Structure 1
């Protein structure tokens, strides 16, 4: 098939395997269930025949409470810490920080820091026998899951949706013969939950622990049933349905997070949804969800029409046979973004939206040393820009508590956030200086905020975030001191997230002077604040001061004797050469301080750094490496890492080393489940196809050999608010179109040639 411009802007070849997850049996474990969500409510049905189990979620359901865990005497130790670091006594400096430069109280290991939690589980028990012709699907294009099977000649079908219309979860059960549906519906929660029935409604409710008086966030989930035929009765804790032909279960849920009237809202949503025909609810859901999902289309070639778990196993052995699996994984990542957040709510956490435990791994919180940032890397380029806004709101909420932390630990102006945060605004260091004292979190978050402006050029948004990024810059600016050995301005104390090094005395430490990531973040942030101030016409004096400081910062990377980019200002030996974090390449991605075009020596050093680090790790690490290699324009190495992250696994043990992959439901495994691997890989696939960080739009900058034969892209975004469609054959772009809200010139690199074109007005 020959692709021309009309093919790009019209219809891309339709292959259901690129839009649908499908299975030929029920889920045996949670990692096989199908995730559904509308940005607030989530559910994961297992498609069980005798008993259906559906895990329920609400993005706002957290234990814990706001707290002040700052040590307001900590800053008094700064001179001693800095002096020890100057003397090369990093281990002694770290010991002092472990005493004073940590949070007070219990830290992240307990409440009141809190934890993102599952809301509970909905169970539907049937009297079915052994099924035949079983099929379970998740349609990414419609945001619907289905389950179909036959028992004793009767075909049963279930449809599941978390409505983008009425903010309610719905399960529709049907039988193709009258009166054949009988079931028992219950709900439960492992702790702090009680179930009862009232006036035909099944109700699960409770109150979580806040770590103060036990009276934390309240929640409730209500289930009502609408029947065609049959009867509905109740017991104390169940809905009993007999001899129906169709049953529609409506689940309306909420929490007291910023919503004192949540119970009234639950009832109001339930009444509205039940008054609407299911067909109308379903269609409105598909339409509203589709306004987001359908913005981007991608075709990379043929796919296999097999169950997804079998495709994953086959792909790892023979990726050339299933180019469309990469499309499925990419669109699944976009689907997860759409389903796990929306403007006005919270950003996706370590679990996205989907937790099946009361105590989620790592609290299901917001880690600020790569993870929550990675969650948002795909949204701009993948044409889901508004999904960055919940993160911006979360960051705005860190400014006031972050100012307290800046004063407590550094006696500094501005604001700071360290390694972890939650919905309660935690900005203090963690409970161990080795990982918890890293203070790059706030600066890294500002990079995410800036990217939304870079892609949209929304000046009103820039006005909103300017005080946030300015406050972070003011904080870092106040901490810069001259390094005695190099003369550069650096921060002390500093650290490279979660990594450590050997000292000459054989001891190891994490605390140092001027870690590379801190140097890179400060450079990038200062440049962004200067640019923003110029656009908004303010803070001329501050801009001059920051510009002068930039000239005195270390370069974007310092190359070691063995040709790698140094992670620390001193050429220390790493305690773990294959460490999962590769923070000293932050300037390569997400920043653009290191590029193949402008800094070839640093790009070469970055390659050597990655070679030594290796290709394995937790899934988020593999995804990050994929992104690094894409920025280095090595498509085949990026594809190798994509293949690695798509490696099937069932492991759920907590892992800090090698062994990432994906579960049968395509959620990424750290292990255990961490959604950042999905989002990082989604961003990586887009980065292989289009880049716009180096001052021009680059088409196919890192296309692997496996994708060169033919392909089509519609709807990817480039910085400057450009929308890009293009097609290729045999690795050469054969047609393209660039559009913008206003006609404007833009540089574009096509088949190795940079040219200036006029982007047409949309």
Structure 2
């Protein structure tokens, strides 16, 4: 059974289990006398649409570029601060709840006060357990108090789209509760008959008329008496109680008030057992698509918080990685839904008005990392919200491209939100990064590579094309090298030292830019060929690709992060942006570019084994791509380090909170998703044009199996013992021809054809399998 479990109530939000159904979220703390359940709605944002483009910006671009080409990066950065940033408050320096940029906000807090009819302080509960089932998406709390066993179940229904809480006891008339709801600001509560409501309107940064929301709560009491008054619902002497909470916002939903009413009524018409079963069945349609076993799971008898502590002393706990892999898939399933929004910096879950960094979408890795597990872990249907977010910023991004660069196409800089923000940030040291939009396109393209869906390719082509047209229009010739370069730009959030001794961030053509643009141009070249369109553009891109700066190796053997070999004030910086071409890109590989792979390894060594949570997650994937399973596992062990650090403390190093949320710190969900992707990358790779099993598997994972994992065009399953793959199953999701690398320590492969195994024809260490969509085959290795 895949579960998180604890022997005590949560003492802080980062210890609460996270429930979600793609829109509605809840985090109960399991308190005995008083319980708080933090509520979320993925669409609840302050702020609103705005024009943050600075209208005079483009006229300063030539001067900025000239200063950069003269090596006066610090002066260029100063000029940009005055002329080439957003208009207005921007993101509010990450505190945007009251400015037009806005913030993702907590929906509210549901309070349950329990009365046991005894002195519960002196009559302490026994046999307390708080658990969460990943296989059911249901949380439970149970304990014994004064001889009575109390049980609670909680789930955010994948069926009726409401939060349902069930309170029971093994004796009659033992349920006594008082229920209330609030949030830190901008709310009012009302009782309408036996329905408790909380409603309000958030700030939009201009006239106060921002997003509206509503929550509705009703209770079914079995026995006992239900009363309403003074902003509470109260139940006395009940045998069992079921609480229903519906919520809605007016984000793209003018009928939100009626929608919440309908959801609540629909849920309450069903028996609890039927509602629970329908929820589990619909959830499992997604969750059960992929599985992983890593052999031993004997540490599951430890509570999750104690299991993390034990792992730091003895990392021989393969089951923890398998649990975490599925936890990442669970978080993705539960924090997005087609037709709504992709997971933000905290997925679905937040507990404040101003979520850290506004809980927005950072384009310099975070929103991309949130989707790294999407295809390989077989959740392709969850790509739609990401696609829609990108599609919705093309129009404002087209205006931004014209205003700042006088360029065709579209661009988004380092941050965006649900309102379509595409302007630079408020400081050029980080806000001038503009190849995040190219990275968004890489994620769209990756989804096509996995699905081979030509209809989808036609849909994303104009987005890819518009992004390529922007970079084609803004690349300029470097006077020293003749290369086509980006200017201005920066290597995300990193600083370098100029020969003058001054420090700067803004630069010409950081390595990441060149890698991203080279990849983007390649996608459009391939897509335009497959779609038989834009031949003239294709030729221009083919010519431009040859003129982009190549990856360079510095005198110290490291892959260079900038066009010049600057000194870094922070050699262990959390970002490893110049290694993008190793992962998630595929330009650098040990097989095809061994010298560059060696330089990438040297860069990783210099960065060190520390880092914030998401940085450690990225490093797991990078070490996996270098086929170093032991180093990837060492980084995973570092990532699992239990932490209780709260607030913004990037110097303490990342880790994992007791509820398995990633500690940046504070909580950022990208580390959860990145680590799930990293575990996948250690066991299965396909970026090199062929499928490779166990490419970076640590010795502690000597036995295992996975099923339902994806490679381009197919789902694959594998079984291995003592690090030797014995059998693979392949199911084609499209007409496909797969090249498969012979696994280590095997010399023979047989494929099942018409009920018989026949030897495959190998070429070196490789062989090919051709399948029609819907076909399945089995391969045995000896």
Q: Name the TM-score, length of structure 2 as normaliser.
A: 0.94
Aligned to 1:713: 706
Aligned to 1:43: 26
Aligned to 1:546: 541
Kindly report structure 1 stretches of 4+ aligned residues shifted beyond 2 Å.
Answer: 655-658, 741-745, 757-760
Aligned to 1:660: 654
Which stretch of structure 1 is more off in the superposition, 744-753 or 393-402?
A: 744-753
2:325 maps to which of 325, 330, 349: 330
Which stretch of structure 1 is more off in the superposition, 531-540 or 338-347?
A: 531-540
The CA distance in 2 between the partners of 1:534 and 1:259, in whole Å, is 39
The CA distance in 2 between the partners of 1:124 and 1:550, in whole Å, is 61
1:649 maps to which of 636, 643, 653: 643
Aligned to 1:415: 410
The CA distance in 1 between the partners of 2:510 and 2:735, in whole Å, is 43
Map 1:596-635 → 2, pairs under 5 A: 596-635=590-629
1:656 CA displacement: 2.9
2:671 maps to which of 653, 671, 677: 677
Question: Once the two structures are superposed, what CA deviation does each residue of 1:165-192 show, in whole Å capped at 9, x if it has no partner?
Answer: 0111100111111111000000011111
Answer yes or no: is the 8 Å Cα contact 2:714–2:736 preserved in 1.
Answer: no
1:480 aligns with 2:472: no
Query: CA 1:744–1:391 in 2, change beyond 3 Å: closer, same or farther?
Result: closer
Aligned to 1:9: none
1:689 aligns with 2:672: no
1:31 aligns with 2:14: yes
Answer yes or no: is the 8 Å Cα contact 2:451–2:733 preserved in 1.
Answer: no
Aligned to 2:457: 462
Query: CA 1:725–1:103 in 2, change beyond 3 Å: closer, same or farther?
Result: same
Question: Once the two structures are superposed, what CA deviation does each residue of 1:242-265 show, in whole Å capped at 9, x if it has no partner?
Answer: 000110000000101111110101
Aligned to 1:306: 302
1:390 aligns with 2:354: no
Aligned to 1:577: 571
1:743 CA displacement: 5.5
1:315 maps to which of 300, 311, 315: 311
2:723 maps to which of 704, 728, 731: 731
Question: Once the two structures are superposed, what CA deviation does each residue of 1:388-425 show, in whole Å capped at 9, x if it has no partner?
Answer: 21111000000010011101110000000000000000
The CA distance in 1 between the partners of 2:511 and 2:649, in whole Å, is 26
Question: Once the two structures are superposed, what CA deviation does each residue of 1:511-549 show, in whole Å capped at 9, x if it has no partner?
Answer: 111111111111000000111111111111101110111
Answer yes or no: is the 8 Å Cα contact 2:396–2:421 preserved in 1.
Answer: yes
The CA distance in 2 between the partners of 1:197 and 1:669, in whole Å, is 39
1:742 CA displacement: 4.7
Question: Once the two structures are superposed, what CA deviation does each residue of 1:433-456 show, in whole Å capped at 9, x if it has no partner?
Answer: 010011011111111111110110
Aligned to 2:74: 91
Aligned to 1:112: 100
Aligned to 2:62: 79
**Unaligned regions of 5+ residues in structure 1, if any?**
1-15
The CA distance in 1 between the partners of 2:742 and 2:191, in whole Å, is 64
The CA distance in 1 between the partners of 2:669 and 2:734, in whole Å, is 36
Aligned to 1:191: 185
Aligned to 2:747: none
1:206 maps to which of 200, 203, 217: 200
1:447 maps to which of 426, 442, 448: 442
Answer yes or no: is the 8 Å Cα contact 1:414–1:473 preserved in 2.
Answer: yes
1:501 maps to which of 496, 505, 524: 496
Question: Once the two structures are superposed, what CA deviation does each residue of 1:52-100 show, in whole Å capped at 9, x if it has no partner?
Answer: 1100000000000000010121111111111111111111111111111
Number of residue pairs the alignment of both structures matches: 741
Question: Once the two structures are superposed, what CA deviation does each residue of 1:354-389 show, in whole Å capped at 9, x if it has no partner?
Answer: 000011110011011001110000111000111121
Question: 1:249 is paired with a residue of what secondary structure?
Answer: strand
1:236 CA displacement: 2.4
Q: Name the TM-score, length of structure 1 as normaliser.
A: 0.96
The CA distance in 1 between the partners of 2:25 and 2:192, in whole Å, is 24
1:281 CA displacement: 0.8
The CA distance in 2 between the partners of 1:357 and 1:390, in whole Å, is 24
1:587 maps to which of 581, 584, 588: 581
1:52 aligns with 2:52: no
Question: 1:108 is paired with a residue of what secondary structure?
Answer: coil
Which stretch of structure 1 is more off in the superposition, 467-476 or 188-197?
A: 188-197
